[in-house]
Homo-oligomer: A and B are copies of this chain.
Amino acid sequence: MTTDASPRPDLSGVRIGFIGLGVMGAPMAAHLLEAGAVLTVHTRTPQRAQPLLDAGARWAPSPADAARDAAFVVTIVGFPEDVEAVYFGRRGTAAAPTGGAGIFSTAAPGAVLIDMTTSRPALAREIHAAAAARSIAALDAPVSGGDVGARAATLSIMVGGDADAFERARPILAVMGRLVVRQGAAGSGQLTKLCNQIAIAGTMFGALEALLFARRTGLDPTTVLTSIGAGAAASWTLLNLYPRAERGDFAPGFAARHFLKDLRIALDEASDAALDLPGLALAERLYGRMVEDEGRGDFGTHGLLLTLMGS
């Protein structure tokens, strides 16, 4: 575990390939560059890389190029399919007919691959096995803390994989997050992130249904929060998202379509474990309605209020 009190590790001269410069990846990559890393970046939309290139990063035209000669490769992309493409190579599609070579086509023995996407535990284990066959280490290391945590380097990073690879990667991770914990073998980081999302799903119901109930029974939701925000009902969601939902501010935060993806992965894993989680199942149903029927996938997760209102 690393806290703010620790000095930031010095990454001078450490060669890192970084793939995926979205709202999370871009500030995370910037922290690595500031810590002295020799950074090579790739992302699907090249212009997103420009600020990093201006700050000294080098451009790689493919994931394979980003991984070549890197001691560490960090990936943080959108969906499990993207993770698969980035590691194993992209099949040609109508939009991108040439496809693209994956990390495994160039990564050198001894490298450490760190996937920080929230993705399938089974895919993390598959990557770990494919890496091991090439004498490469692989960690699954999804994060929580959102874009705010990515910019402030205060992320919680949940890590699965071998203990020695974790120790080697720790300075890299400590530059990007505040709470870096190894949870167990390959896939454990992903499973822990799913626990996080399951806990959030229930809390979200609680907070948004309390808000709706307050409104519809004639209470002042803001005064209600004064009474209920500090005791047994307290949650991060209640304190942070209830007020935004109350004033009709549904900007993400965390986009509902990504949350739905996570809930579906969690449900699949629960089902594989013969585990019936009725709260999670309800959340998946309602977020499915919000994202797929109501077209609100780019709203923040607290936009579920509108679905609960039946509007």
Which A residues have a C-beta under 8 Å from some C-beta of B? 1, 121, 144-146, 149, 156, 158, 179, 181, 183-184, 188, 191-192, 194-207, 209-214, 216-220, 223-224, 226-228, 230-238, 240, 254, 266, 269-270, 273-280, 282, 286, 308, 310
Contact = CB atoms under 8 A, between A and B. Distances in A.
- A interface secondary structure, majority: helix
Contacts of A282: 278-279, 282
Contacts of A266: 213
A203 B231 CA distance: 13
A203 B211 CA distance: 14
Q: List 6 A-B pairs, minimum CB-CB distance, nearest first.
A: A202-B206, A205-B279, A235-B235, A202-B205, A199-B233, A199-B210
Contacts of A197: 233
Report copies per complex.
Answer: 2
A191 B215 CA distance: 11
B231 A156 contact: yes
A26 to B, nearest CB: 20
Contacts of A270: 213, 216
Contacts of A220: 183-184
Contacts of A188: 218-219
A279 B209 contact: yes
A156 B275 CA distance: 37
Given A194-B213, A209-B198, A217-B269, A227 B278 contact: no
A188 B232 CA distance: 19
Contacts of A201: 205-206
Given A202-B279, A217-B269, A278-B282, 8 more contacts: A144-B233, A156-B227, A183-B220, A199-B209, A203-B206, A206-B206, A209-B280, A213-B277
A270 B209 CA distance: 10
Contact of A310 (B181, B203, B216, B276): B276
A210 to B, nearest CB: 4
A233 B200 contact: yes
Contacts of A206: 198-206, 279
A179 B230 contact: yes
A235 to B, nearest CB: 4
Contacts of A240: 232
Given A183-B219, A235-B203, A227 B275 contact: no
